Chain A
């Protein structure tokens, strides 16, 4: 206690000195915080710097010889999915069959044949056109939806039939698994979105809101899905946890296809030939490209080519759109996703009914047919019902260009 009292007496300070001491203490604390922040910032800038390098890299169009064609379906292909490890492609066609392809070799691994109309009880598989497919991110389940209001669940590895989900009152037109889970979202022409749990083979709930048949559905890792509403010209983002929806309006024609680019942006294509880029924060599209694939028809009666499918490279700024003007067009989203500029186009004859980027971005797969996936308005005889694997090359920046910032 003697020592303590000595310290206390030594420590006797005037109020001004106390203020000074406290101020210095505060300043030190602030400085520490600033240092921490600076550390975080520098960490982030390193990441950004790394990404910037990639952004400067440009995608190059492939040579015609490098495009691989996988033929096997007899009728036009309606939809396809790529497994997340980029090894397998599953495709479905108007003959109601599903084929599992190996990407490397281009060989057919499994074929699930389609059944004829009327054999629903006997046949294991679909008996009507398959409109949509989805694969879970771990590659375990494959889901397919057809015109006969059924959703079939298959084991992706062996293509064994697992479950059949009934409940929709109209053709099932959109399917998507939530990334990292086995929750399946389905959309149908009966204007409803249904949530299913594939693990437990159970139906969870239904969501309503669309005023016309739903034409497309997509989801990422959040408990959220986006749907394209066809003729009601609306795109809706469904917040499933909160049971609410966000409504976006745009396009002048029927919105036929939709894909999410990242958690905040999506791209849609319509049957008036326009492609639109959307953000979740704005009720109208950020940018629209009209007549993205040109027009066709007699002079004076020109109609724009319908955009049959769109695809987006995950978390990047590259999107692709497909129609039947013999080109798949690739687009680049501008700064902050403000605009859409054309990059290049890949020659592909026929109706590009489905487009998917591989998760690594190495190639783009197009499912092509002689007819549109939803009907037979036109038939292009010179086209082939096949899968086109289009490799995407990257051009690295020149060494001289890279040296300048340094």
Chain B
């Protein structure tokens, strides 16, 4: 039993080495095949040198088994005839178990791969083949296919994948490799990948013009108003001393600030427009247009600000704060002896 089991191992390992030639085997063990094939794809990608160590592993293993083979060669065929029906079942089970083990081996080996593993493995395989019984050889041939078997046993001279075959003209049929399995899912409709574009940097959106932008997206301000009201209501409802209330307060303040900033920007624009209109009128009347300096513009703005503050009654407040600030700034410019001294 053990001998046939070990022969099964041997055969299975050989089948895997033969499958290394990037060919899918025909018969059973589809799940094993797919895992094994993936590993072999890895191995073959490594310049087909792959496991130098693996080859040595094989050699090591062979020495043990070849002795047993020689001993058992006389009784071998007889045993196999009797145990022929039992062996396939046993072998299949062991294949499944062993494939996991040897897959781990093979996963590790490519990492430690050396150079000319190729030569060693084919020699190793030929050695093993010469030791295997004829029935095993036939079974192996059946499993892997005579083409691949002949290549390995008698030296493979297959030029790997002729490469991209170019069509002469576009009416001719496409030529592709016949050895790749077709994907399980069929390509029915081509799904377009959603491309994302940033409107800030995309030429399609044009240049940013604030007036046009404000005009077209004016409706957002209404939405913002409504949202502010909702937040205020929620703020009223929440109980004090919860972190949520802090967040809501923060949010409300942020909204208000943004609104204020937007308003001030609008006012700025209004002022600019007024100046423009004034200039145009003057130009129409014949006098030369009037251009203000920046400092003059600032003075006018300040004047307007004072007007507004007076209306709301906060002028005194504002002015005192400003005096304090200016005083602090002026003090910094004094010489060092006088800086900390208070005005007496």
A interface residues, Cβ below 8 angstroms from B: 166-167, 169, 191, 193-195, 197, 200, 202-212, 232, 237-240, 242-248, 280-284
Contact = CB atoms under 8 A, between A and B. Distances in A.
Interface in B154-210: 162, 165, 171-183, 186-187
A167 B178 contact: no
Nearest to A280: B173
25 contacts: A167-B26, A191-B182, A193-B178, A195-B147, A200-B146, A203-B145, A204-B147, A205-B148, A206-B26, A207-B179, A208-B178, A208-B179, A208-B182, A209-B176, A209-B180, A211-B182, A211-B186, A240-B178, A242-B162, A244-B162, A244-B165, A245-B175, A280-B173, A281-B171, A283-B174
Given A202-B142, A282-B173, 6 more contacts: A208-B181, A211-B182, A245-B176, A246-B174, A247-B175, A281-B173
A244 B176 contact: yes
Contacts of B179: 207-208, 243
A283 B142 CA distance: 36
A232 B183 CA distance: 13
B175 A203 contact: no
B177 A202 contact: no
Interface in B111-151: 141-142, 145-148
Contacts of A207: 178-179
Contacts of A205: 23, 145-148
Most-contacted residue by chain B among A194, A202, A280 (CB, 10 A)? A202
Nearest to B148: A205
Contacts of B173: 237, 246-248, 280-283
Contact of B178 (A203, A244, A280): A244
B18 to A, nearest CB: 12
Contact of A166 (B27, B148, B175, B182): B27
Contacts of A203: 26, 141-142, 145-146
Most-contacted residue by chain B among A191, A205, A281, A282 (CB, 10 A)? A205
Contacts of B235: none
A202 B176 contact: no
Contacts of B30: 169
Contacts of B42: none
Contact of A202 (B141, B162, B171, B172): B141
B27 A243 contact: no
Nearest to B161: A243
Most-contacted residue by chain A among B30, B147, B165 (CB, 10 A)? B147
A194 B26 contact: yes
Nearest to A282: B171
Contact of A247 (B162, B171, B174, B187): B174
A232 B179 CA distance: 18
A99 B26 CA distance: 31
Nearest to A235: B173
A239 B23 CA distance: 17
Contacts of A191: 182
